[in-house]
Each structure stands twice: as C-alpha cells, then as structure tokens.
Amino acid sequence: EDQVTQSPEALRLQEGESSSLNCSYTVSGLRGLFWYRQDPGKGPEFLFTLYSAGEEKEKERLKATLTKKESFLHITAPKPEDSATYLCAVQAGYGGSQGNLIFGKGTKLSVKP
C-alpha cells in the first residue's frame, strides 16, 4: 500500500535554530516527491519536486533532499515567517494510484523570535 509518514508532527524552533523535517514513503514506483507549505486558512503552496534518489533542491532557507526511502526538508537559520505546516506527497508511477498524490499528515513548524 502506498503511504507517506511525516515526522515530527510538530516542531518548535528558536529563530536561527536549524533543523530537519522527515518524510518517509512506500509507493509503487516513485514518479515524484513533492513538498508543499500550508499557512493557516490557505491552500497548499508548492515548494519543490524531487524525482530521483540523490537529488537536492534549495529555495532561500529551505533545502530538500531525497533517498530511496525518505526525503528531508532542511531549514537553515529559520525566521518566524517560516512558521507553517509543511506537507510531503508522493506520486505513484503505476498501479491504481498512478499519477495521484498521496499526502502525509504534515509537520507543523513554529519559529519563535
């Protein structure tokens, strides 16, 4: 069964305190792994797509990496405006879920000044 598990469920950081969010997955032929950011009362906002193990992508203070079983979202020197829920999703390459996204439950990040 295709599934995505994110940890931790919640993370509290001080401004400037770097950390990582984890996304582990099992999927029928990974076609892509997606990271989204969601602010309260808003829809998910696309951040990154990773396609193959070893790939890395960066955007400002965020860096996403991918292995064959998990992805990490590294946050370097976070600021309060980075506070949000971060969602991970995988896209199956074949089977009944081909093309559809399977989401994890998210990690709620709070960054205190």
Partner 1 sequence: NAGVTQTPKFQVLKTGQSMTLQCAQDMNHEYMSWYRQDPGMGLRLIHYSVGAGITDQGEVPNGYNVSRSTTEDFPLRLLSAAPSQTSVYFCASSYDPREGQETQYFGPGTRLLVL
Site for partner 1 contains 104 (CB under 8 A):
yes
Interacting stretch for partner 1, rule CB under 8 A, among 11-19, 34-42, 57-65, 69-77? 34-42
107 binds partner 1 (CB under 8 A): no
CA distance 76 to 62: 7
The answer to whether 100 contacts partner 1 (rule: CB under 8 A) is: yes
Reduced to 3 DSSP states, what percent helix, strand and coil does the chain have, rounded to the nearest 5?
5, 60, 40
Taking CB under 8 A as the rule, does residue 71 contact partner 1? no
Question: What is the C-alpha to C-alpha distance for residues 85 and 87, in angstroms, rounded to an integer?
Answer: 6
Phi and psi of 81, rounded to 5°?
-70, -5
Residue at 36: amino acid letter: Y
Please pick, from the candidates 32, 66, 109, 111, the single residue that binds partner 1 as defined by CB under 8 A. Answer: 32
Query: Interface residues with partner 1 (CB under 8 A)?
Result: 31-32, 34, 36, 41-46, 49, 51, 87, 89, 91, 98-101, 103-106
